[in-house]
Structure 1
Amino acid sequence: MNLKKRILIAPLNWGLGHATRCIPIINALITHNYEPIIASDGNALSLLKKEFPDLKAITLPSYDITYPKKGQHFKLKLLQSSPKLMKAIKAEKKATASIIEDYNIDGVISDNRLGVHNKNIPCVFITHQLQVLSGSTTWLSTKLHQKIIQRFHECWVPDNLGDINLSGVLGHTNMHEMPIKYIGPLSRFKKEILDIKYDVMVLLSGPEPQRTLLENKLLEDFKHFNGKVIFIRGVIEEDQYISEDNHMTIYNFMTTDALGKAINESDLVVCRSGYTSLMDLTKLSKKAFFIPTPGQFEQEYLAKRLTDLGYTPSCTQDDFNIEKLKSISEYKGLNAMDYEVNYKKLFSLFEGE
């Protein structure tokens, strides 16, 4: 007899951020005596299978969104793929209904997967975007997103409610019709005081082809860097590969413990300004240099906001060069926001309390 309540947790496969920020939630579910069942696709699913080899993992239909090579075509590409997206969401909804029945699921936590909900059980949507920035069509993308969020019972925003927060206008807007809970920044890492081994860590992730374009550029740029570099390509494969190239150590990927240690041992991190990276580097109080994904309004906004607030420098992918790293000393770096999540209270939704 299985007395543990089963919670389906389903992150979007778009870069690795949605999957990695679900890791602390999956650990908390296990600690609070729930049985998490993981559902996703692609790299996100592969990553979570490596982190939780003993948990049941199910493949969901893929959204199959790729980035255009030219950032300014991003919106057009999304609009073109919207019929495909609608089809994927429909398939996802159908798959979710089957999973709920087959595995006796008691509750659902979806991180930005738009079709993973069911009216018969409590469902949570995790997002830091109550507003979806898309330039001149922000009002429309926001309205569509909020309409989807309203199909869930609760919305959890991984940020602080007060003035000192990470998401700015993205995560702070009025949504009266929706029970929103601010649960504080989520990170799978722990801050440790370790000796600095690397001058720079390059940490890549995100959808193709932009991940590869940035990788090729930075591998070339850092050949001429005077100092020790650890380069994490963010490609989830069956086996881990490590190569040494003079002053550079290159990994295809790292699991949580190894990556957390390596970030703690790095003086500076160069990466995308994805929201999960922001939360991780804030938790570890790191100096960072952000290169937003071209054409992704959200990352461009976050990078500019942190630069304007004096926390971290940033620039476009085309403009980046090693010389830019010299500006780091003019910024104060990211600082931990100590925030303890009351998971017992948060999970009471699944207890009908």
Structure 2
Amino acid sequence: MNKNILVAPLNWGLGHATRCIPIIKELENQGFNPIIASDGVSLDLLKKEFPHLKTLELPSYQIEYAKKGENFKWKLIKNSPKTINAILSEKKLVKELIKEHEITGIISDNRLGVRSKKVPSVFITHQLTVLSGKTTWISSKLHQFFISKFNECWVPDAEDKPNLTGKLGHLKDSDLEVKYIGVLSRLEKKELPIKYDLMVILSGPEPQRTFLEEKLIEELKNYDEKVVFIKGKIEPEQKKEEIDNVTFYNFMQTEELEKTFNESNFVLCRSGYTTVMDLAKLEKKAFFIPTPGQFEQEFLAKKYKREGILPMAKQDDFKITDLDAIWLYQGLPKFNSNVDWKKLFLLFESE
């Protein structure tokens, strides 16, 4: 009988869910039976990707973005009692799910309460260091404490240089059981004719996703080349709309998204880490607009700009003419993304 593995991504934007797609596919390839657990748009997306798999709903962390970037951290702190309650609730729920669904392993992408002492539990993160301004030391130590409760921590990056995360995913000294699993992307590079000059792809919690959508729609009125604009809104049905030189979609599933990436000259997007991995895998040039106040995205965007890899601009400052800078940057380094899944999944083979 196939072993049931619970795969539980955090519902914070779509990145955690989308980078679990190749993991879920490989679990099936290796003879396991994945059971998906999440909430909100992340759960909706994975239901669309894997309609044949069992899905379970977990308590929402109720993560909200502030309207102003400088208030981002304080908004998270204000909502932290709700988040803590959700973590405690999901921890209790996981005990029941293990019994009810005969779960023999857990893969949690940043869901702190989805773990068990009774079955092997893995935590996936690219942030061993959690940037939070003056409180970075505290937030990092707290995060590392929670990670230590899991059997293993999988970091989707290269262990040595060059790598994508820098100090985010690499600690100088740590007792954590960390495994670097390489760049993780659901997409593959393909040689296709270029159909679009620019691909815009949005993601992330509200209200910042909408703020950027509105700003970019206004800016694109001054852009003459062909554009495909994916809003990152997971809805029951896909919607397509063509206005002048811009083709709008509310969302795309993996196969169509992969095709569109490969048909596009370059990309305008957030600097979320899952998007970074997709761009590296596809060897695409890009321009980043980090989510205001989100330390991780701002760190990555500034790091790549400083290293001459990819350009970036703050959301309030961005002008469509800024895209001219893309060709002055070298682009993300090419990585070997061959993951030894069989070796990784050995953790779940023990009785």
TM range (shorter): over 0.9
Q: Contact 1:19 / 1:44 at 8 angstroms: preserved in 2?
A: yes
- Give the drift of 1:177: 2.3
- Give the drift of 1:176: 3.0
After superposition, give the CA deviation of every residue in 1:156-195 in whole Å (9 maximum; x if it has no partner).
Answer: 0000001100001000004532210000010000100111
From 101, 106, 113, the equivalent of 1:103 is 101
Alignment of 1:332-343 (within 5 A): 332-343=330-341
- Matching residue of 2:31: 33
- Matching residue of 1:304: 302
- Matching residue of 1:140: 138
- Matching residue of 2:92: 94
Partners of 2:14 and 2:108 in 1: how far apart? 15
Provide the secondary structure at the position in 2 that maps to 1:310.
coil
- Give the drift of 1:226: 1.3
Provide the secondary structure at the position in 1 that maps to 2:33.
strand
- Matching residue of 2:156: 158
- Matching residue of 2:238: 240
Are residues 1:251 and 2:249 paired?
yes
Q: Contact 1:13 / 1:41 at 8 angstroms: preserved in 2?
A: yes
Partners of 1:175 and 1:347 in 2: how far apart? 26
- Give the drift of 1:335: 3.7
- Matching residue of 1:268: 266
Partners of 1:196 and 1:77 in 2: how far apart? 42
* Mean CA deviation greater in 303-312 or 7-16: 303-312
- Give the drift of 1:98: 1.1
- Give the drift of 1:80: 1.0
Provide the secondary structure at the position in 2 that maps to 1:279.
helix
* Mean CA deviation greater in 113-122 or 336-345: 336-345
Q: Contact 1:202 / 1:270 at 8 angstroms: preserved in 2?
A: yes
AA at the equivalent of 1:342: D
AA at the equivalent of 2:315: Q
Q: Contact 2:109 / 2:123 at 8 angstroms: preserved in 1?
A: yes
Q: Which runs of 5+ in 2 are unaligned?
A: none
AA at the equivalent of 2:166: G
Consecutive aligned runs of 4 or more in structure 1 exceeding 3 Å deviation: none
Compute the TM-score of the two structures, normalised by the length of structure 2.
0.99
AA at the equivalent of 2:206: E
* Mean CA deviation greater in 304-313 or 121-130: 304-313
After superposition, give the CA deviation of every residue in 1:218-254 in whole Å (9 maximum; x if it has no partner).
Answer: 0111121010000000000000000000100000000
* Mean CA deviation greater in 334-343 or 120-129: 334-343
AA at the equivalent of 2:170: H
- Matching residue of 1:190: 188
Partners of 2:160 and 2:144 in 1: how far apart? 21
Partners of 2:239 and 2:127 in 1: how far apart? 35
Provide the secondary structure at the position in 1 that maps to 2:20.
helix
- Give the drift of 1:131: 0.2
- Matching residue of 1:23: 21
Compute the TM-score of the two structures, normalised by the length of structure 1.
0.98
Q: Contact 1:286 / 1:335 at 8 angstroms: preserved in 2?
A: no
- Matching residue of 2:120: 122
- Give the drift of 1:117: 0.4
From 19, 42, 45, the equivalent of 2:43 is 45
Alignment of 1:201-240 (within 5 A): 201-240=199-238
Q: Contact 1:288 / 1:334 at 8 angstroms: preserved in 2?
A: no
After superposition, give the CA deviation of every residue in 1:115-143 in whole Å (9 maximum; x if it has no partner).
Answer: 00011110000000000000100001001
Partners of 2:34 and 2:204 in 1: how far apart? 25
* Mean CA deviation greater in 333-342 or 209-218: 333-342
Partners of 1:263 and 1:67 in 2: how far apart? 27
Partners of 1:110 and 1:161 in 2: how far apart? 21
Partners of 2:14 and 2:133 in 1: how far apart? 25
- Give the drift of 1:334: 2.2
- Matching residue of 1:80: 78
AA at the equivalent of 1:185: V
Partners of 2:229 and 2:221 in 1: how far apart? 12
- Matching residue of 2:292: 294
